[in-house]
Amino acid sequence: MTSTRHLVLVGLMASGKTTVGQTLAARLGRPFVDNDVVLERRTGRSAREIAAADGATDRTWISARYRAARAAVLSNNSFT
**Beta strands in 1-80, from DSSP E residues, in sequence order:** none
pTM (2 decimals)? 0.60
What Rg value do the Cα atoms of the chain yield, rounded?
A: 14
Q: What is residue 20's three-state secondary structure? A: helix
pLDDT tens figures, 43-69: 898 877 877 776 666 555 566 666 777
User: DSSP secondary structure string, 33-52?
Assistant: --HHHHHHHHHSS-HHHHHH
pLDDT category of residue 4 using cuts at 50, 70 and 90: confident
d(CA 1, CA 39): 29
What is the distance, to the nearest Å, from the Cα of residue 10 to the centroid of all Cα atoms in its chain?
A: 9
